Amino acid sequence: MRKSRRRSCPRWCMTTTRPVQKTSGLSRKTEMRFQGFCEFRPRILVDVSHIDMTTTVFGFKVSMPIMIAPTAMQKMAHPDGEYATARAASAAGTIMTLSSWATSSVEEVASTGPGIRFFQLYVLKDRNVVAQLVRRAERAGFKAIVLTVDTLRLGRREADIKNRFALPPNLTLKNFEGLDIGKMDRANDSGLATYAAEQVDRSLSWKDVKWLQTITTLPILVKGVLTAEDTRVAVQAGAAGIIVSNHGARQLDYVPATIMALEEVVKAAQGKLPVFLDGGVRRGTDVFKALALGASGVFIGRPVLFSLAAEGEAGVKKVLQMLRDEFELTMALSGCRSLKEITRDHIMTEHDRPRVAPRL
């Protein structure tokens, strides 16, 4: 085992206030922000001898409201890559979302065995390729399409530019093998940025959500919503769900952290579709905060990549179990025996505190 993999998933990678990569030169913390944003209001003397964390997502029962977000090129973190993540998610009884830019194909991930899986989609300029990808995901047994809508252009990722990021020569974007749409080669700045500029369709609009509905019967979740205005349009467009996400704060500086945008989106959705949170979840307490603010569940990205790099499949299993245990403990200490019992009354945010006018 490599030395770097012997470091079991360190707790520093789970902090809620970790600074993240700069994009346009000004760093922005994207996680759950400072701990004072949410304070708990626990209920006492509740029989919590049995805690039920199960839920259903589009009719599929999962063991907990903690699911795996799409993250690209996982074989750069570990040789088993998406295979390991898929097996760990299945063992935990939860959902894995496979990235379009994965280093394992939809068919390869499906071959790992049974599991509930979603497919994340970037809409490319060649719509025939997009339709082919969607149909392949359907045939492979994937249960939903996660449409990423916040990357029509890639944010300025300065670390990628500095490092002239490109896929190692032994890896490929497996979902596009055999298709004549170009490769991610080393460039003068970021190979990923060059590839995205060449392939991703910048004309993507709400009408394309309708178009996707004509080529698939799978539910379509819109990933990248941060405002009430876009939430209402998503409902009108027939989206099956919304994922509140700022793409790991690597797209646009000064957008709100996902936890800060969540309640606005939930209120605008008016219960017409489920709202999920993606980004910033590092503790089981963060899961509780999101559900108390109205989320139907959360997706985790960086914790999966960190744990995958540290210990492969065992690491991903470990981080899922850690979050599960912490979330169960938070529920118990808050007097909640099921997800339905987690309400807005269980937390207080900075916006709930009374504003005291300064004395003149």
99 labelled as ligand-binding?
A: yes
296 labelled as ligand-binding?
A: no
50 is catalytic: no
| DSSP state string for 118-179 | EEEEPPBS-HHHHHHHHHHHHHTT--EEEEE-S-SS----HHHHHHT----TT---GGGTT-
74 labelled as ligand-binding?
A: no
Catalytic choice (78, 247, 346, 351): 247
Give the residues across from 298 on adjacent strands: 66, 277
Q: Determine the Cα–Cα distance for residues 187 and 133; give it in Å rounded to an integer.
A: 26
280 labelled as ligand-binding?
A: yes
71 labelled as ligand-binding?
A: yes
The conformational region for residue 356 under phi > 0 = left, psi -120 to 50 = alpha, else beta, is beta
The sign of the dihedral angle between the CA atoms of 166, 171, 175, 180 is positive
36 labelled as ligand-binding?
A: no
DSSP class of residue 289 equals: H
281 labelled as ligand-binding?
A: yes
Q: Is 53 helix (H, G, I), strand (E, B) or coil?
A: coil
319 labelled as ligand-binding?
A: no
127 labelled as ligand-binding?
A: no
Q: Determine the Cα–Cα distance for residues 67 and 62; give it in Å rounded to an integer.
A: 9
User: Residues near 112 by Cβ (< 8 Å), separated by ≥ 6?
Assistant: 83, 86, 87, 90
Q: Determine the Cα–Cα distance for residues 150 and 320; give it in Å rounded to an integer.
A: 27
Contact 219, 201 (CB under 8 A): no
Contact 187, 154 (CB under 8 A): no
148 labelled as ligand-binding?
A: yes
72 labelled as ligand-binding?
A: yes
Give the residues across from 242 on adjacent strands: 222, 275
282 labelled as ligand-binding?
A: yes
257 labelled as ligand-binding?
A: no
Contact 97, 62 (CB under 8 A): no
Number of DSSP helices (H) and strands (E) in the chain, helices first: 10, 12
Positions annotated as catalytic residues are: 247
**Residue stretches of the annotated binding site:** 70-72, 99, 120, 122, 148, 157, 223, 245, 247, 250, 278-282, 301-302
**Residue stretches of the annotated binding site for glyoxylate:** 122, 157, 247, 250
**Residue stretches of the annotated binding site for FMN:** 70-72, 99, 120, 148, 223, 245, 278-282, 301-302
